[in-house]
Amino acid sequence: MFSSVLDEVSPEYKEKIKMYKVDIESEPDMAIEFGARALPYMVFISKDGDVTQNVGSLDKNTLKYYLEGLISK
């Protein structure tokens, strides 16, 4: 399950990246704003405002790849 991957990886990036989990059933406006149509749905926003979106689970290494890309910008 992706939430376990996210829970495992997120402490490594705690001081470098802000991460938020959103329950789109209780926050439907946010789901609409970001175009979430399937779960899991991730939005990566870099400091310069570039947006990358991903639908579906990621394995640990792929998630870390995306996060390292955010840090390097």
CATH of the domain at 50: 3.40.30.10
**Bridge partners (DSSP) listed for residue 44:** 52
Structural contact between residues 60 and 11, judged by C-beta atoms closer than 8 angstroms: no
Amino acid at 57: S
Q: Could you give the angle at the alpha carbon of 72 between the alpha carbons of 46 and 55, nearest 5°? A: 50
d(CA 20, CA 45): 12
What is the domain count for the chain? Answer: 1
pTM (whole model) above 0.85: no
Q: Which domain holds residue 13?
A: 2-72
Side-chain-facing half-sphere of 6: CA atoms under 13 Å: 15
pLDDT in tens, the chain (73 residues): 899 999 999 999 999 999 998 999 999 999 999 999 899 999 999 888 899 999 999 999 999 999 999 998 7
d(CA 4, CA 37): 21
